[in-house]
Structure 1
Amino acid sequence: MTLFSKPLTKSDVEKSLLIPTHSFNTLPLEEGQFFNMNVVDSAGNAWTFPCFIQQNNDEIKGPSVISVGWLKFLHNKDVRVGDTVFLYQISLDDNCTGTQFRIEVKRKIRLLGQDIWAAVDQ
């Protein structure tokens, strides 16, 4: 199940990925909370992203967002502005000790006059 997807902005690749908390409506999230997000990339590598719930800083007061610390992942995968990130929920363990996620980043490539989306992996 896809929880979240978005084209990446300069802020996403230089600071942190911001995800609206309503994308994670199955998790009990509170503003000011810190937690780790355990993810697996499309190559099968495990990653832990430190996260923080914060109020959105938009001019119009918006919903809370999850600030995801994923810079190490970005540099390892050569992720760029304009790539699109997809986050999928893959399992919820029986002990409620953590939700597992799968992350995928795709880049649009123009090939023979057509746009195709290729996975960003190394």
Structure 2
Amino acid sequence: MKMFSKLLTKTDVEKSLVIPTSSLDILPLGGHLFYINVIDNTGKAWTFPCFIQQTEGIESSVVFVGWLKFLCDKDVRVGDTVFLHQKSMDDDCTGTGTQLKIEVKRKIRLLGEDIWAAVE
């Protein structure tokens, strides 16, 4: 199940990923600083520090996601698209759980057609 996707901007790749709070169902109750744990498409686990910024007079707020190490390791660029998925996982010990998965895709031109390829 796709939770969120975004075409990445210069701010997203140079400072932090900016996500409207309305796009995420995983936000904690109370507090402005929290962490999200994700798995990339190679199975590597990542922990991203997140900060909720609420602007006075504006109903919606945004989440800034600290993911610069991930960007460097994956060579993520402006124009790539990031996807966050909530994936059901079967666990023999505890039953069914959920895992947050992150995926980045890049548009490439191949034989005159645009194709979205996974960034690994």
Q: TM-score range by the shorter chain?
A: 0.7 to 0.9
| Structure 1: gaps of 5 or more residues | 93-98
Question: Does the residue aligned with 2:23 lie in a helix, a strand or coil?
Answer: helix
Pairs aligned (count): 115
TM-score after normalising by structure 1: 0.83
For the Cα contact (< 8 Å) 1:42–1:103, is it kept in 2?
yes
Alpha-carbon separation, structure 2, partners of 1:103 and 1:120: 11
Is 1:87 aligned with 2:94?
no
Over aligned residues, Cα RMSD in angstroms?
Answer: 2.5
| Structure 2: gaps of 5 or more residues | 90-97
TM-score after normalising by structure 2: 0.84
Pick from 49, 63, 67 the counterpart of residue 66 of structure 1: 63
Q: Which residue of 2 aligns with 1:95?
A: none
2:10 maps to a residue whose letter is K
1:91 shift after superposition = 4.6
Question: Does the residue aligned with 2:77 lie in a helix, a strand or coil?
Answer: coil
2:51 maps to a residue whose letter is F
Alpha-carbon separation, structure 2, partners of 1:45 and 1:63: 32
